[in-house]
Structure 1
Amino acid sequence: MKLGVEKSTPKAFWAKKTPPRVVCGRGKTFLRQKRTAQILPPIRMVLLGLKYCAGVTIIGSIIDMGLHMGICFLTLVVSLPSLKPPTCGKNVSYLDCDKRASSLQIGVFYCALYIIAIGTGGTKPNISTMGADQFDDFEPKERAHKLTFFNWWMFSIFFGTLFANTFLVYLQDTSGWGIGYGIPTIMLLVAIITFVFGTPLYRHKPRGESPFTRMAKVLVATTRKWNTSVPADPKELYELTLDEYASPGKYRIDHSSSLSFLDKAAVKVDGPASGWDLCPVTQVEQTKQMIKMIPILCATFIPSTLMAQTHTLFIKQGTTLNRHIGDFEIPPASLSVFVTISMLISLAVYDRLFVPFVRKYTKNPRGITLLQRMTVGLIIHIVTMIVASRVERHRLSVVKEHGILTMKQIVPLKIYILIPQFALLGVADCFLEVAKLEFFYDQAPEGMKSLGTAYFTTSLGVGYFLSSFILSTVANVTKKHGHHGWILNNLNASRLDYYYAFYAVLSSVNFLFFLFVAKKYKYNAEVTNVEQESKEDIGKITEQSYVSG
């Protein structure tokens, strides 16, 4: 519920037909700044959440209250006359509107957005980790159910998105923004209360050291012993005894050959040594696991930029088309509902039909590996941009045929022509985004799971930064030497078909990079205790759950 409510906040940028110019004219900038502001908060909140993991409910409540305060501010902005920007008037296009919001109004609006961004940035990496941590890896039945957790976790998020893209946008467009934001404000408060009262039912992880501190110790110890040779036998490296790992929440990880230079941190030294001079093998392996995911993380930046296209250029394309279905006009903000519906359907089909069918041949409890699932999503992304380019070329041909010169004129094409690219993005997200979240969680070591899911959020945030950079760079470069330029304020005079084709090529190059790093990547070995569990038993339990479900 909380994440679904958060999804409703960006819709204000496009929901109204004639909003104040300050909102529409800077809508894309506001949205991208809000998204990119979510990069650093996840890292800070992971530090806080893992350092005081025993009090995760208290920390989560504080973060949620911050998010709730931001949405309350946003509700006040659209409700109080003194904070509302001046309206353009009836039947006045925002392109013709000369009204401007005051510095105070803009300041409060920005403040609300950034408070929401900080609250969301603190919620996203921790709440999904907490949900997955409720399953016991040492119980085969629970571990089998955990394999489908992220599918249905993402399903619930996008179900909330569907609510935001339809019902809330409709209320904002018909009853006013005060009602449109008042409802999610109340819903979020109910969600926070429910979260707090559920505290006795949660499985709480014991307090642990910050993952950044643990990783820093390994890097510092490695640097201090850079000239030290690593023994040929890994058993000679420093490691705690099994008894010391017997306490709950501690797991021993076997030595691996990857990133072997970090093994210097575990080379025994003469005399007493602090944690900054000598680290156990398990701690070194944890650091290795987080570092070796970075190339995969980098390969997800370009795909994340495509999500920005959905909220900006794709929707702006829709504003140029005929959006009427009888007497009803589809609000621009609701166009992304096609992505949501497509993803909801794809997730259900994937989890209930695709996985059981493929598992019979692959013998993998997940059906296919996480990297294979991400590969499929990347391929669909490339296809999406090719389709978007062809559709835009057709739209521009109709623009030329009818002599349409300005954005005020509606292109005589139904909004339906954009459905394929929206739907394909939904299918791509079903494969890529879910697998990306599960991959970073699954491959992160115990005690660093929230940092792993923060990789996922960071991927999205960097993607929005890159989207803005790529958009401005392409717009500036294509205008040089007297050229018309590909990206103009007037889409009917732009060449978005070239821009989308460029994205298809860029995505293809990124796809080759992903294949390279994915081939080099080695999945983590199971921790010593879990390794004893039978994968066949888990597969049988998983299959039985699908049959009974």
Structure 2
Amino acid sequence: MLLVDEKNKQYTGDGSVDFKGRPVLKKNTGNWRACPFILGTECCERLAYYGIAANIVTYLTHKLHQGNVYAARNVTTWQGTCYLTPLIGAILADAYWGRYWTIAGFSIIYLIGMCILTLSASVPVLKPVECLGSICPPATPPQYVVFFIGLYLIALGTGGIKSCVSSFGADQFDDTDSQERIKKGSFFNWFYFTLSIGALISSSFLVWIQENAGWGLGFGIPTLFMGLAIGSFLLGTPLYRFQKPGGSPIIRICQVVVASVRKRDLVVPEDSSLLYETLDNSSAIEGSRKLKHTNELSCGRDCGYSCDYCY
């Protein structure tokens, strides 16, 4: 029994697997050894995003010759799309692809969008001619189409990255290990630090490059960093810990609502272990873990039902 317990301690207890689907050894995967690749990905992606968002109004007004109101509306619509697409990425990651493949797939879409945007600002036929005195010829419809295709591919790409990178980083730490659980809190500190570093460089250095050295170079540098982000992320693949997708979260939310209504009159057992759908330590949902019992999330009334019980 002692040998079995010692062997079990060598593996993660949260159900994570390696990239081949095998149980993972703690000493070989995850933890801080995998985090530099994830943090580097986030830093480069944020640098690329803010390298566009911080100064895109200026590009629309000075290069595409749009009015201030029209340019501001286009930027607001694009930024709103960037904050809606993470819903798509989150559902795909949790239900079907897993976080790793969602990040990898959407990062490629992101990079394609960056390349198109760089070409639209660099290739003469894809960008409007410069103003001649007070005469500023507007962009042609094909030029608009190329530019906005690149812009909205970036919005789609950021949806798969923004929704998964922080969670994928948290997956590298075993919740069942008290020491790794503490390190997970430190990971989020470093995560937001690297995010802020990328935003700072974009909002200062890249903005200066765009306005003084040209927009082709100003968009090309973030494109290069996005390529580095993808390379950094893929390089760490053998070190990552993966959580299997557990099915559609929308279906589970509906199940909780229905179950909470049907079981609203049941008496809560004193033994909290009886609140789960299975008796062993694993969850009935593949790739998921049992939630700890709590009285803080009641279902409809102050009855002490936890979400575990309602499910």
TM category, shorter: 0.7 to 0.9
- Mind listing any 5+ residue stretches in structure 2 that lack a counterpart? 1-43
- Give the TM-score of the pair, scaled to structure 1: 0.43
2:290 match: 251
Q: Kindly indicate whether residue 265 of structure 2 is the aligned counterpart of residue 230 of structure 1.
A: yes
Answering whether residue 85 of structure 2 is matched by residue 41 of structure 1, we say yes
Where 1:233 maps in the other structure, the secondary structure is coil
Contact 2:46 2:198 in 1 (8 A): yes
| Cα distance change on mapping 1:48 and 1:84 into 2, 3 Å | same
Contact 2:117 2:147 in 1 (8 A): yes
The one-letter amino acid of 1:77's match is S
Letter in 2 for 1:82: V
Q: What is the DSSP-based 3-state SS (H/G/I as helix, E as strand, rest coil) of the residue aligned with 1:38?
A: helix
C-alpha displacement at 1:57, in angstroms?
2.5
Q: Is the 1:85–1:101 Cα contact (8 Å) retained in structure 2?
A: yes
Q: How does 1:302-451 map to 2 (within 5 A)?
A: none
Structure-2 separation of matches of 1:16 and 1:170: 17
2:290 matches 1:282: no
Task: Give the Cα separation in 2 of the matches to 1:44 and 1:115.
Answer: 14
Higher RCO (C-alpha under 8 Å, 6+ residues apart) = 2
Distance 2:178 2:307 in 1: 27
The equivalent residue for 2:119 is 76
2:166 partner letter: S
Contact 1:41–1:122 (Cα < 8 Å) also in 2: yes
* Shift, 1:15, TM fit: 6.2
Normalising by structure 2, we get a TM-score of: 0.73
User: RMSD across aligned C-alpha pairs, in angstroms?
Assistant: 3.0
- In structure 2, give the amino acid aligned to 1:240: E
What is the aligned partner in structure 2 of residue 216 from structure 1?
254
Contact 2:210–2:218, Cα closer than 8 Å, also in 1: yes
Name the CA shift for 1:105/1:263 in 2 (closer, same or farther; >3 Å).
farther
The 1:255/1:161 distance shift into structure 2, 3 A limit, reads closer
- Is 2:276 the partner of 1:239? yes
Partner of 1:542: none
Q: Secondary structure at the match of 1:27?
A: helix
Contact 1:219 1:262 (C-alpha < 8 Å) held by counterparts = no
The total of aligned residue pairs comes to 262
Equivalence for 2:198 = 160
Q: Is the 8 A contact 1:218 1:283 kept in 2?
A: no
CA deviation after TM superposition for structure 1 residue 13, in Å: 2.4
Q: Shift in Å at residue 246 of structure 1? A: 7.2
Q: Which residue of the partner structure matches residue 261 of structure 1?
A: 300
What is the rounded CA distance, in whole Å, between the counterparts of 2:138 and 2:309 in structure 1? 56
Q: 1:50 aligns with which of 94, 118, 136?
A: 94
- The Cα offsets for residues 380-434 of structure 1, whole Å up to 9 and x where unpaired, read as xxxxxxxxxxxxxxxxxxxxxxxxxxxxxxxxxxxxxxxxxxxxxxxxxxxxxxx
**1:175 paired residue number:** 213
CA contact (8 A) 1:234 1:255 kept: no
CA deviations over 1:221-243 (Å, ceiling 9, x no partner): 445x3xx6512334598632441
Matches within 5 A, 1:434-513: none
Answer whether contact 1:15 1:169 (CA < 8 A) is retained: no
Look up the equivalent residue of 1:161 and give its one-letter code: A
Q: Is the Cα–Cα contact under 8 Å of residues 61 and 68 in structure 2 kept in the other structure?
A: no
| 2:234 counterpart residue number | 196
Secondary structure of residue in 1 paired with 2:131: coil
Higher helix share: 1
Evaluate the alpha carbon distance shift between residue 234 and residue 187 of structure 1 in structure 2; reply closer, same or farther with a 3 A threshold: same
How far 1:111 sits from its partner (Å)?
1.6
Which secondary structure state, in structure 2, belongs to the residue aligned with residue 165 of structure 1? Answer: helix
8 Å Cα contact 2:56/2:75 also seen in 1: no
Which letter does structure 2 place at the counterpart of 1:233? Answer: V
Q: Residue 147 of structure 2 aligns with which residue?
A: 109
Q: 1:67 aligns with which of 110, 132, 136?
A: 110
CA distance in 2, matches of 1:184, 1:71: 8
Bigger radius of gyration, 1 or 2?
1
**Whole-Å Cα distance in 1 between the matches of residues 172 and 243 of structure 2?**
9
Give the whole-Å Cα distance in 2 for the aligned partners of 1:41 and 1:103: 26
1:26 is paired with a residue whose SS is helix
SS, match of residue 85 in structure 2: helix
Q: Which residue is equivalent to 1:32?
A: 76
% identity of equivalent residues: 31
Give the residue type in structure 1 aligned to 2:308: T
Provide the rounded CA distance (Å) in 1 between the counterparts of 2:239 and 2:180. Answer: 16
Work out whether residues 133 and 203 of structure 1, in 8 Å CA contact, stay in contact via their aligned partners in 2: yes
| Amino acid across the alignment from 2:85 | P
How far does residue 25 in structure 1 lie from its aligned partner after superposition? 5.4
The alpha-carbon distance between structure 1 residues 15 and 212, as it changes in their structure 2 partners (threshold 3 A), is: same
Q: Relative to 1, partners in 2 of residues 1:49 and 1:145: Cα closer, same or farther, differing over 3 Å?
A: same
Residue deviations 1:49-97, cap 9 Å, x none?
Answer: 01235x53232211000111111110011011121023224xx5xxx55
AA partner of residue 89 (structure 2):
M
CA contact (8 A) 2:114 2:219 kept: yes
How far does residue 23 in structure 1 lie from its aligned partner after superposition?
6.9
CA contact (8 A) 2:102 2:160 kept: no
Distance in 1 separating the partners of 2:172 and 2:163:
15
Checking the alignment, whether the CA contact within 8 Å between 2:130 and 2:136 is kept in structure 1 is no
**Contact 1:42 / 1:122 at 8 angstroms: preserved in 2?**
yes
| Residue 151 of structure 1: how far off its partner (Å) | 2.7
Distance 2:112 2:275 in 1: 48
- Describe the shift of the 1:194–1:257 C-alpha distance in structure 2 as closer, same or farther (beyond 3 A): closer
Amino acid at match of 1:231: L
> Residues of 2 paired with 1:200 and 1:263: CA distance?
47
Unaligned runs of 5+ in 1: 267-279, 286-549
In structure 1, distance between residues paired with 2:148 and 2:193: 30
